[in-house]
Structure 1
């Protein structure tokens, strides 16, 4: 079944939690029904933390008392189970038959997009779109799988008339970002938000006065804290064998939302330019 919004919020905040808080959230995600029916003492005993830690956890991450937290979680679990039933495990195994594997890959993609959409804040998204359209140049940077998202984003924005640069190799990235300016927008794509080379590049862009837009699963990460604007992507990396699929799909979903809105605002100009280009090529 679909995860309750409360579980989704906690799962995506896990990166910034202390060791004790991580133990608590792992137990909640593993067995939310147990947490709903257990007392604070029972929960703390099973998890191996103090009663006060459990109570502080509910207040810190949800702004709720322990009892209100349980009631909210219980209500959301009931609502989510009525909306959708999840019939297969998202884990992909070597022994899976082809048709089963196809369904699981589809599940990873669908749930990554759905969960990322649930985390979207329209006001923050509008800030990102405004910054993107106001920028003289766009820099999309990322490494590893996130670097592929950066390259694809740069290619797409170039096609609709933006001066877009994209880098997924650290030496070229350092060199180019060093010359970023205050009227540039630097889009940093990092699932963890803690990639050392990207943190260095982000700090350089920040020192140059550029606007920083971060796309990350962890808004409280080093990169998230350096950015003026943060869009949060979601992916159940620790649960899925196909982590890279879900992560990249969720990143590209956010980038495509930005791209599509930008295209809406310059559609007539882009349409005219493409007709002109085709006439010259033919």
Structure 2
């Protein structure tokens, strides 16, 4: 997918130093103005030294400030809709219902658009190959991410019986420890820093399973145990902790994976889909 530097900054945010975060915050709030600023101008605006701006560029894997501005400019010229995500969507205590609803809608749309721009075709292909080859696919998540894991399992179960998920965190640890090199652990965590989830990933990795991690940030305690990393977009404000935008962004990736799995294995999956559909067809008053 086309690289978008606004999205890339957000995904790398938790690995920045305190000074680098000041630079990132300013760029996210004023991306177009930054294109016309020197490194000293930006450093002064952020109240940091020139070296902090240079270190920020290094963290973003570019050689220097000019290359960063070039990449940011190219991203803007592409007309990528995620640039609209720099507009203020933060819910405040002063918002009326109409304004609040508009911000929630905009945030959810941006979450999907940003997740789409973050899809790495190589990583996604590796993930699909791993799911194809797996003897067993086990979905893991804690808290809100557990609900996402259960939804993913329920979706895949309609076409593939080799999937599993358990709602209890302790049971998830047990399941992770009993995985084998023939299995895949698909782990959901927005922050990548939930202790129980990191423990689950550690046990799954130790057991030899292939680990696929769906998370917000490129580097975290969780990603060090990831064989395959899929990034989701969504930013939670002060009044939006636990917002559905994070879940929506993860479920968008689940939909992509489900659709690709079904497409790849249509001849095998279609009979299973027919069976599961028939199993519940009499449960509706229709």
Distance 1:7 1:112, change over 3 A: same
8 Å contact 2:90–2:237 — kept in the other structure? no
CA deviation map 1:107-136 (0-9, x unaligned): 222111110010111111000000011111
CA deviation string 1:212-263 (max 9, x = no partner)? 0000111211211211100011112247737521100000011111111111
For residues 100 and 191 of structure 2, the distance between their equivalents in structure 1, rounded to whole angstroms, comes to 27
Residue aligning to 1:56: 55
Residue 114 of structure 1: aligned partner: 113
- Give 3-state SS (helix, strand or coil) of 1:191's partner: coil
Which residue of structure 1 lines up, in the alignment, with residue 192 of structure 2?
193
Q: Matched residues in 2 for 1:190 and 1:87: separation?
A: 24
Q: Provide closer, same or farther for how the CA distance between residues 240 and 79 of structure 1 changes in structure 2, counting only shifts above 3 A.
A: farther
Aligned to 1:171: 170
Q: Single out whichever of 85-94 and 66-75 deviates more from structure 2.
A: 85-94
**Alpha carbons of 1:38 and 1:246: their partners in 2 closer, same or farther (altered >3 Å)?**
same
Q: Report the equivalent of 1:203.
A: 202
- Per the TM alignment, residue 47 of structure 1 is displaced from its structure 2 partner at its CA by 2.0
Which residue is 1:183 aligned to?
A: 182
Aligned to 1:220: 219
Q: Encode CA deviations 1:82-128: one digit per residue, 9 max, x unaligned.
A: 99868985333566454544433322221111100101111110000
TM-score normalised per structure 2: 0.86
Q: Is the 8 A contact 2:28 2:86 kept in 1?
A: no
Calculate the TM-score normalised by the size of structure 1.
Answer: 0.87
Q: Deviations over 1:8-63 (max 9, x none)?
A: 11111001112221121112112224432332223223323221221232243141
Residue 141 (str. 1) matches residue 111 (str. 2): no
Question: Structure 1 residues 7, 154: closer, same or farther in 2, change over 3 A?
Answer: same
The residue aligned with 1:270 is: 269
Q: 1:100 to 1:170 in 2, by over 3 A?
A: same
How far the C-alpha of 1:265 sits from its partner, in A, is: 2.4
Give the Cα–Cα distance (whole angstroms) in 1 for the partners of residues 11 and 279 of structure 2: 49
Of 263-272 and 125-134, deviating more is 263-272
Aligned equivalent of 1:245: 244
Question: 1:104 and 1:87 mapped to 2: Cα distance?
Answer: 12
Whether contact under 8 Å (1:213, 1:229) holds in the other structure is yes
- Structure 2 match to 1:123: 122
